[in-house]
Structure 1
């Protein structure tokens, strides 16, 4: 009986760890203006202007920026929203 309880606890812990182990990444592209990317980050994610500009500059200078972390479903929704704004974005597992 203890073995089953321990396994259940481990399964629940693993599920909780995996739940928050995904990222939404926005990639640089030659189309969108920096001001537009900043606007998207502010309007969709609710970032303050300074944070939205910092993330936009990461996209511009480093080619990408992690804009959110959390469970996979939420990150997929964020990526779909970024696509709706015309931005290139992907979901990636943390640590890869």
Structure 2
């Protein structure tokens, strides 16, 4: 019987870095991404209808999606942000959830 190699264990520094990326102190965000399919007027409509944003705010967010490639449309508890992202998918928009940067 040969010698068995020790089981690989994660590097302590990697574990700390991974744990720091998900912090209970930071809120979560719903991010809507640009796509080649939806019209700008439709994206504005979705933001107004679903989030209840006034026209100016909805248009500003839509322009951020269009010009910058994405926009944070909501921030809060993870579960709520996941619900928002799912709702955006139901409207045909591409959305993801992430923890707010530090």
Structure 1 residue 18, shift from structure 2 partner: 2.3
Structure 1 residue 19, shift from structure 2 partner: 6.6
Structure 1 runs (4+) greater than 6 angstroms displaced:
none
Q: Residues 33 and 70 of structure 2 are in contact (CA less than 8 Å); yes or no, is this contact kept in structure 1?
A: yes
Change (3 A) 1:46 1:20: farther
Aligned equivalents of 2:74 and 2:48: distance in 1?
A: 13
Aligned equivalents of 1:20 and 1:46: distance in 2?
A: 24
Q: Which runs of 5+ in 2 are unaligned?
A: 1-22
| Structure 2 length-normalised TM | 0.75
Cα RMSD of the aligned pairs, angstroms, is: 1.5
Q: Residues 28 and 76 of structure 2 are in contact (CA less than 8 Å); yes or no, is this contact kept in structure 1?
A: yes
Partner of 2:94: 88
Greater helix fraction, Structure 1 or Structure 2:
1
| Structure 1 length-normalised TM | 0.79
Partner of 1:4: none
Q: Which runs of 5+ in 1 are unaligned?
A: 1-16
Structure 1 residue 21, shift from structure 2 partner: 1.1
In the alignment of these two chains, the number of paired residues is 80
Structure 1 residue 36, shift from structure 2 partner: 0.1
Change (3 A) 1:82 1:19: farther
